[in-house]
Amino acid sequence: MSGGTPYGGRQATLEALKIDQPAAIVGQVAAARARGRFRFRLVFAATWAILIGGLVFSLAAAGRIDSAFLGVWAPYILGGIPITIFVSIFSIAFAIVLATLGALGRISRHPVIYAVASLYVSLVRGTPLIAQILFVYLALPQLIPASSDVPVIWLGIFALAFNYGAYMTEIFRAGIEAIPRGQLEAAQALAMRDRLIMRRIVLPQAVRIVIPAIGNEFIAMIKDSALVSIITVQELLWRAQRVGQSNFRTLETLLLAALVYWMLTLVFSIVQARLETRMAESDVRL
């Protein structure tokens, strides 16, 4: 018997649409979508190529770039890249630790812990990062003389981590609070202690929510790492500024530094996109 549609049933519909093999339609639709995606990416890449090409051409045509100068100094300036990456990675790692502690503190029921965490977030978000970096370099040795022996790169990493930890605390807290309350109640009904619930139920799911945010923060951190140049860490921007300013060629050196920061951001953006796809695998409709 034919199905219940008004137009004569399933068989009649397939004949009308000239579909020979019903199962093949899945493949045909997938192929059509893939073609569409490919065309989109092709035009996207072509537009970028034209825009970037136009930018490069207009800079070169203005004739103000001294490429011989860059040839001599590029190895030294680019030598700052490992330091920039080192600072960024360690800062974000410590910031994640601080943010986790801060988030747990912000949802705590103990007033002292809650107060300390809230003060941390409020104070650090309320003062400029550049002031915090200068503080650990200039003011901290006056309070704790031993801190003047700490290599400046670790002072910079500490200041960056301390600052980003405060911002990420709120992100982590939002991730933890996004776990449905029903899960917590169910876990409590099963007589799980609070700490166990946090460790086995809440945090694993919260991680999936906050990873895109961490990726964003890391990409921002790559540029903010340039601020440690003010406390003498000889990373990429420091080198570009010193070389450029001594030789009246800040245009060339700063362009080079900007290009490198952009490349680093692109690479880590792609990594983040892949990570997000991987995290969202459970959401894909099959």
Partner 1 sequence: MRPRALVVGLAAALLFAGCSAGASEAPPDLLKVVTDAGKLRVSTDPQYPPQSELKPDGSYEGFDIDVANAIAEGLGVEIEFSTPSWDTITAGSWGGRWDLSVGSMTITVPREEVLVFSSAYYFTPAQMAASTASGITTIDGLAGETICVGEATTYLDWLNGTLDVVSETPMTDPPEGAEAVTQTTDRLCAENWKAGRTDWAGWLSSSSTVQDAIDDGLPLVAVGDPVYTEPLAAAADKGGPDPTALIARVTEIIDGMHGDGSLSALSEEWFGVDLTMTAGG
Residue 83 interacts with partner 1 (CB under 8 A)? no
Candidate residues 9, 27, 36, 79; the one interacting with partner 1 per rule CB under 8 A? 79
CA dihedral 251, 253, 259, 265 (to 10 degrees): -120
Q: What does the alpha-carbon distance between residue 82 and residue 102 come to, in Å, rounded to a whole number? A: 30
Look up tokens 């915090």; give the residue: 132
For residue 105 the two structure tokens come to 């503190």
Within residues 117-176, the interface with partner 1 by CB under 8 A covers 137-138, 140-149, 152
- Per-residue mark of binding to partner 1, 16-55 (x: CB under 8 A): ----------------------------------------
Residues in the chain: 286
Q: Which stretch binds partner 1 (CB under 8 A): 2-10, 166-174, 233-241, 274-282?
A: 233-241
Burial of 241 (0-12, 13-18, 19+ CB in 10 A): middle
* Nearer Cβ to partner 1 (23/62): 62
Within residues 249-278, the interface with partner 1 by CB under 8 A covers 250-251
- In whole angstroms, the minimum distance from the beta carbon of 248 to partner 1 comes to 5
Candidate residues 18, 110, 181, 278; the one interacting with partner 1 per rule CB under 8 A? 110
Q: What does the alpha-carbon distance between residue 178 and residue 158 come to, in Å, rounded to a whole number? A: 29
Within residues 201-230, the interface with partner 1 by CB under 8 A covers 230
Which residue, 81, 79, 68, is CA-closest to 249?
Answer: 68
User: Looking at this protein, which amino acid is placed at residue 3?
Assistant: G
* Nearer Cβ to partner 1 (127/232): 232
The number of residues that bind partner 1 (CB under 8 A) is: 37
In sequence order, which ranges of the chain are alpha helices (DSSP H)?
A: 9-16, 24-61, 67-78, 81-106, 111-125, 129-134, 140-143, 152-177, 181-189, 194-197, 203-224, 236-246, 250-279
- In whole angstroms, the minimum distance from the beta carbon of 133 to partner 1 comes to 12
User: Within 10 Å of residue 61's Cβ, how many Cβ atoms?
Assistant: 9
* Nearer Cβ to partner 1 (123/144): 144
Candidate residues 96, 226, 243, 260; the one interacting with partner 1 per rule CB under 8 A? 243
Answer whether 165's CB lies under 8 Å from 104's CB. Answer: no
Residue 113 interacts with partner 1 (CB under 8 A)? yes
Candidate residues 241, 265, 269, 272; the one interacting with partner 1 per rule CB under 8 A? 241
* Nearer Cβ to partner 1 (63/182): 63
Residue 157's contacts (CB-CB under 8 Å, 6 or more residues apart) are 87, 90, 91, 94, 228
Q: Which stretch binds partner 1 (CB under 8 A): 20-28, 74-82, 206-214, 252-260?
A: 74-82
Burial of 14 (0-12, 13-18, 19+ CB in 10 A): middle
Residues that bind partner 1 in the complex, under the rule CB under 8 A = 72-73, 75-76, 79, 110, 112-113, 116, 137-138, 140-149, 152, 230-232, 234, 238-239, 241-243, 245-248, 250-251
